[in-house]
Structure 1
Amino acid sequence: MSQSHALPGVLQFGVRLALAFAAIVLLPVGIARALQRSPMPDVSAWIAQRDARIQVRVFDGETGDVRPMPLNTYVLDVLLANCDPNAPTASLEAASIAVRTYAVRSMLHPSVQARREHADLTDNPSLDLAMETEHELELSIGSQSALAFIARAQAAIEATDGKILTYGGQPILAFLCQISTGRTRSAEIALGSPVPYLRSTPCPDDATSPARVSTITYTLGALNQALSAHLSGFSGLRAIRSSDGFVQAVKAGGAVWSGPAFAADLGLASDDFTWVARGDRLTFSCYGRGSDLGMSLHEADVLAERGMSFAAILAHFYPGTRLEDMQSFVQSLGISGN
């Protein structure tokens, strides 16, 4: 074979060799560098947390199973479900401490519903704090946005590892909501008993936010299906309200629902709602998102943007509480957080 005929074969071999080198060496290096530029969390730091060594038992209402999970994973799932993906660091840190406190208190004093299921908590947002997995978050806001939010939320959890709020030497009922109606509720009205650190707190930034109000519409058939009811029309519906406007109960003929149960069955954003009937449709207007107790995450975001620290935000919404380490409380459960 002549040299002129051999040259193209050599060139082809060289091209194939270059492509193989790119696939085996350059491509993985490029991917690794891209991942280094992305906000990937430090896995070793995440699993080394004291939070990671505490197991919390969560009752899954959909499957009927009790799922043990690390405390930091529980806190993360609650942050993903309730916090704004662009929330400032200080408000994410405040929320991390509030959720950790809620979980530790629930481990010490589980609710009747959780105890019945041999769990510490439930994933039912009408009973406990709403939760969302990383996969569910990716489906709702996209992979890149989810990745960035998860990394920031994990950093906030790591920065506050082991910190909880106490009052009178005990972890508090650290309720929170996504956005209030314009002020948070007092425990005396919402729970029927005063709690010193759960006072009605003005939230002026919530009051002016369009996100404070949401609407949802039902046909009569869809309403009956959601409530497992047999209403013949909307005219018989009556709401009984507390002094702060929240619905305590809804009556229709002989049927009665508590305000929270009615809102949960219909997927309403809060227990503060009104309705208007137009023909065969009933439109609900809901004010705030969540229980309206404790910390408003939306108001906390604004306070953080103005320079308030996580400690100051927590003191604002839970007056009279103290920041403490959870160690002595988890040890009383026979758990070592070290």
Structure 2
Amino acid sequence: KVVGKYGNGTRLSISRSGNTILLNGKKAGDKVYLTTGNSAPAFAVKGNRYRGQMKLIPSAWGSGVTVVNAVPMELYLQSVVPAEAVPSWKADALKAQAVAARTYAMYHKNGYRSSGYDVTDDTRSQVYSGVSSETEATSRAVRETAGEIVTYGGKPIDALFHSSGGGYTENSENVWGSVIPYLRGVKESYVGNPWTKTIPLSSFVRTMSNYGYGVGSLKGIKLSRLRIGEAHRTSDRGISGRVKTFTLIGKGGSRTVPGDKLQSIYGLDSTLYDLNVKGSNLIITGYGYGHGLGLSQWGAEAMAEKQGNGRDYYKTILTHYYSGTKVEKMY
């Protein structure tokens, strides 16, 4: 039933009493939809404007209210693509991002069902901020790929993407521990500039000891050399060269450290790195940004710059990064 009608510019205070939603202090029900009946951006929440409907429900945790933007897929993507890619990129790179984002959303539909929504608006799912991020170039990429998704065996894939592969993407088992047939490491032409982090050795040894990797006075670090853009066959690195483990050797023995543990401790951009001791410092030199699985966004742009603007080249980009897949129009 309709519990209220409000004019343009009305400011609504949303609160909760038990499992009942209150609008400006008035009881409205345990699930309330705010709607205008058109696709214009009608609602503003915490400074962002949104299309579609607003669903108000009691939070699944605590005593608050969860505000859900219920919006059609294609309008959702008009905000996601410019938030995840650079709007000035080549059209094929933007189209590849649009299809990947659509596929990811379709695969993760009902991902937060117990909380009342499909996906979050941050990097746990995909970045989404409503109308404010929309651009003409990215909206065009969404429109021109409408309904297209990446499939493997006829089903939508978990279309993971990351900022930069640093010259080579990674096999899923070296990041997640399980083999996903379409998330295979592939070579890419984009490497990007290296990043570095310098840590005093005394601080490094102390920190590693605090995390359970104490070896006493450090004698050496065992890690095979990184070769950018080459498939690696060593046990301490993944196929891309991302560090699986390295070993600290000291007077008190040796300890094997997971590569992503060092990334977590020091906030490294990726696990595609080398370790070098220079004087009294440890120098970490790395490449890429993100987990290294699936589509490399800067790699996609490099492919589009080099070969783009051909007929449907974005599909070539997608099937390069997602092994054994197809791009299909599902609706």
Following superposition, the deviation at residue 286 of structure 1 comes to: 1.5
Contact 1:234/1:277 (8 A) holds in 2: no
Distance 1:257 1:85, change over 3 A: farther
Could you say which structure has the greater relative contact order, defined with CA pairs below 8 angstroms and 6 or more residues apart? 1
Amino acid in the other structure paired with 2:146: D
Matches within 5 A, 1:312-331: 312-325=316-329
Residue 107 of structure 1 is matched in structure 2 by: 109
CA shift digits 1:144-191 (9 cap, x unpaired): xx98x8432233223333322121232102122222232222335444
Superposition pairs for residues 304-319 of structure 1, below 5 Å?
304-305=304-305, 306=307, 307-308=309-310, 309=312, 310-319=314-323
Match of 1:83 in 2: 85
| CA positional deviation for 1:92 | 0.6
| Residues paired across the two proteins, number | 253
Instruction: Map 1:55-94 onto structure 2 (within 5 A).
Output: 68-69=68-69, 70=71, 75=77, 79-80=81-82, 82-94=84-96
Which segment is superposed worse, 159-168 or 85-94? 159-168
Per the alignment, do residues 131 and 99 of structure 1 end up closer, same or farther by CA in structure 2, a change over 3 Å counting?
A: same
Secondary structure at the aligned position of 2:276 is classed as: strand
Distance 1:313 1:194 in 2: 22
**Residue aligned with 1:161, SS:** coil
Deviation of the 1:326 alpha carbon: 5.4
Output the amino acid matched with 1:185: E
CA contact (8 A) 1:92 1:153 kept: yes
Higher helix share: 1
TM-score by length of 1: 0.56
Equivalent pair of 1:80/1:150 in contact (CA under 8 Å) = yes
**Runs of 5+ consecutive residues of structure 1 not aligned to the other structure:** 1-43, 57-63, 136-145, 328-338
Determine if contact 1:80/1:133 at 8 Å carries over to the other structure. no
Equivalent residue for 2:196, pick from 203, 211, 215: 215
In structure 2, C-alpha distance between the alignment counterparts of 1:254 and 1:67, rounded to whole Å: 51
1:32-79 CA-to-partner distances (Å, cap 9, x unmatched) read: xxxxxxxxxxxx87869xxx76999xxxxxxx9976444567646654
Calculate percent identity across the aligned residue pairs: 26
Code of the aligned partner of 1:302: A
Instruction: Please state how far the C-alpha of 1:311 moved relative to its aligned partner.
Output: 2.0
Shift of the 300–117 alpha-carbon distance from structure 1 to 2, 3 Å rule, reads same
Normalised to the residue count of structure 2, the TM-score between the two structures is 0.57
Question: Is the contact between residue 227 and residue 266 of structure 1 (CA under 8 Å) also seen in structure 2?
Answer: no
**RMSD between aligned residues:** 4.6
Once the two structures are TM-superposed, the CA of residue 270 in structure 1 deviates from its matched residue by 1.0
Paired position in structure 2 for 1:206: 190
**Among 167, 182, 190, the residue aligned to 2:167:** 182
User: Which structure shows the higher strand fraction?
Assistant: 2
Instruction: Report the CA distance shift for 1:85/1:235 in structure 2 as closer, same or farther (over 3 A).
Output: farther
Relative to structure 1, is the Cα distance of residues 73 and 215 closer, same or farther in structure 2, using a 3 angstrom cutoff?
Answer: farther
In structure 2, do the counterparts of structure 1 residues 85 and 282 end up closer, same or farther at CA, with 3 Å as the change threshold? farther
Could you tell me whether the CA contact under 8 Å between 1:95 and 1:297 is conserved in 2? yes
Letter of the 2:242 counterpart: F
Q: Compared with structure 1, are the counterparts of its residues 293 and 202 closer, same or farther at alpha carbon in structure 2 (3 Å cutoff)?
A: same
Residue matched to 1:171: 156
Tell me, yes or no, if the aligned pair for 2:87 and 2:94 is still in contact at 8 Å.
no
Match of 1:246 in 2: 242
CA distance in 2, matches of 1:227, 1:104: 44
Residue equivalent to 1:301: 301
